[in-house]
A and B are shown apart, each in its own frame.
Chain A
Amino acid sequence: MQVLKTKRGLLWAWLIAMVVGGILVWGTAHDAALYRDPIMQVTSVKTGKATKETDDFHNVDSQTKQVLSGKILNGKYQGHQLTVSNVYSYSRAMDQKYHVGSQLFVVVHDRNGQQLTATAKDSKRDTTLVFMVWLVVALLLLIMQFSGFMAFLSVAANGVLFFLAIVLNGSTQGAQVLWIFGSLAVVFAALTLWLVIGANRQMVITLATTLGGTAFSIIVALLVFHVTHERGMYYESMQYVTQLPRPLFLAETLLGSLGAVMDESTDIISSLFALKRERPELSANQVFKSGRQIGSTIMGPLINVLFFIFVADTFPMAMLYLKNGNSWGYTFSMNMSMGVVQSLISGIGIVLAVPLASFLASRFMDKKKVTA
């Protein structure tokens, strides 16, 4: 780790990351052998005529048939030449247009002895994914150097924890989702802050603020839910739900706001610690006031970050609703209302963390001197 702090060590790390990443990107373009499902590489495309289609809402689209010829790259049909027919539309919401060189998963139909036929399943996307990860890591190391490496490490560590928690959730049939992700949030926060700040008093105060702010926001949300009887909340509009939606929604909100609250409390508390170091004569009340000052400038933008993450995601579905003749109000309720509720709850957590951070920092930051 220390070697990464020197210029030469860093340059080497960067070069290694570039080369390893480059090999990985190239490798995923040639990794068909690793897959069990047959993959076909398109060698020629014959495109038919487009036919115009109009739906019940006067949306005009077109559909085109293409015949793809190609070679199977893996499995027991490796090397076989196949032709697959594929239909794509102008809008391409649920279909794909393939080109020469595209790699796609196919389902091969083997009717003993007769010629092999196949149908197109889906495009192969791992190369793009690995390329983007590679780009992020390269930029991080290049611009942020050692801190970039640590940031990446904390994201990777959290990713692993997240995966384990999902597996655990699956093994309990989702009955304990809120408890699992609630305790995960504590572990997440402690691990991340330890990586970012180190194990010291500042980290303990930041952790307490993060957990307190997030917990308060959930409590406020539950109170409001109780008072309004959850009017205007459409749990049925949540996507990909395979278990009880209400605890799942709360778990999503809890996780979503955790990062932002942590971000904010780190900012406020580290500024206050720096302030106190520079001007030790400041009283606890003055420190509290500065904390509120700092916090009130950063809370707005942070709420915005989460708002765009939670709500922008609903763009394609909301647009489709509008194109299918639904009213603006219904489109909002069925697509965006849950995201807006999530943003508001997170916002409440972000705002509550400001006085909490200022209070905890102002009262507890020089306890060390008293005990020493």
Chain B
Amino acid sequence: MSTITVLGLVLLVLMVLVGGKAGAQSFLALILNFGLLYLAIVLVAFHFSPLIVTLVVGMLVLALTIFMSSGDDLSSTVAFIASAVVLVVLVLLIVPVENWALVQGFGPEDSEDLEGLSVLVGIKFVQVTTATAILSTLGAIAEAAMAISAGLSEILEQHPQVSTKALLGDGIAVGKQIIGTTFNTLFFGFFGGFLALFIWFTGVHYSFGEILNDKIFVSEILMILFAMVSVILTVPITTWVMTRAVAGQRKRADKQGDN
């Protein structure tokens, strides 16, 4: 058996042992997410617009990740709507910045890997790089939205009459608790992946100025910064969606009370 199969089986067994049915569901979500990511790559290779593919696949990934984890209906729905809003806002930020930064495609450091490959493939790499940046933050958006909405729904459970204004403050308070550790997840996740590149920079003695303007370096750092922006934005947006949902629920409850 290949290493991936065995590691996958070990992970599945552990997830079921620790989380039971929820664990198995999360594992399934992970596999489906991989399928969606690969599908996105194939669709772009077939000349579908990278941005539209990313938006559609992004929505599906968010829905899968959020609805296949355990959580009550209200917090899952709120988390999904909020993360979808964040995704759209993020696209509006990433598209102009990627066009401005000119970090599309590959850099001189990739030359060895590109040997024997034709790069004139007739697909706009600005859009491909934009798609990459958006896809790499999807997990972080879903996780942050779920954490905030779960925290808020717990507060609502304990204090059902809390005012929507107080709820806004609570959302930010929950956000403050998670932001420090979430940033570290992102920092280590990304830097773990870039370790080889940074070692390259010091090994080949790039100057500070060269690193700051290097295509690959800037593109990777921008990805971390986009992910951080998306997590920061997730906090107020999720809180806001939650207050709207609660306000809507209370209105309906009042109407029913009147009848």
Instruction: Decide if B186 is an interface residue (CB 8 Å cutoff).
Output: yes
Asked whether A304 lies within 8 Å of B183 as measured between CB atoms, the reply is no
Asked whether B183 lies within 8 Å of A143 as measured between CB atoms, the reply is no
A125, B101: Cα distance in complex, Å: 6
B-side contacts of A251, CB under 8 Å: 195
A-side contacts of B121, CB under 8 Å: 55, 57, 59, 61, 91, 93, 319-320, 323-324
B-side contacts of A301, CB under 8 Å: 26, 65, 69, 139, 142-143, 146
The residue on A at minimum CB distance from B2 is A232
Please give the number of chain B residues whose Cβ is less than 8 angstroms from any Cβ of chain A in the complex: 122
B-side contacts of A351, CB under 8 Å: 11, 14-15, 18-19, 23
Give residues of chain B (182-239) contacting chain A, Cβ–Cβ below 8 Å.
Answer: 182-193, 195-200, 202-204, 207, 209, 212-215, 218, 221-223, 225-229, 232-233, 235-236
Give A323 Cβ to nearest chain B Cβ, in Å.
4
Asked whether A61 lies within 8 Å of B236 as measured between CB atoms, the reply is no
Asked whether B213 lies within 8 Å of A124 as measured between CB atoms, the reply is yes
Asked whether A348 lies within 8 Å of B11 as measured between CB atoms, the reply is yes
Instruction: Decide if B30 is an interface residue (CB 8 Å cutoff).
Output: yes
A-side contacts of B221, CB under 8 Å: 129, 132
A188, B1: Cα distance in complex, Å: 36
Stretch touching chain B among A9-17, A112-120, A144-152? A144-152
A-side contacts of B186, CB under 8 Å: 259, 305, 309
The interface of chain B, by Cβ under 8 A from chain A, is 1-8, 10-11, 14-15, 18-20, 22-23, 25-27, 29-30, 33-34, 37-38, 40-42, 44-45, 61, 65, 68-71, 97, 100-106, 109-110, 113-114, 117-126, 128-129, 131-132, 135-140, 142-143, 146-147, 150, 172, 175-193, 195-200, 202-204, 207, 209, 212-215, 218, 221-223, 225-229, 232-233, 235-236
Q: A96-B102, A128-B101, A158-B184 are in contact. List 11 more A-B contacts (CB 8 A).
A: A59-B118, A144-B175, A170-B199, A228-B1, A241-B196, A259-B186, A297-B19, A305-B140, A320-B114, A332-B38, A339-B193
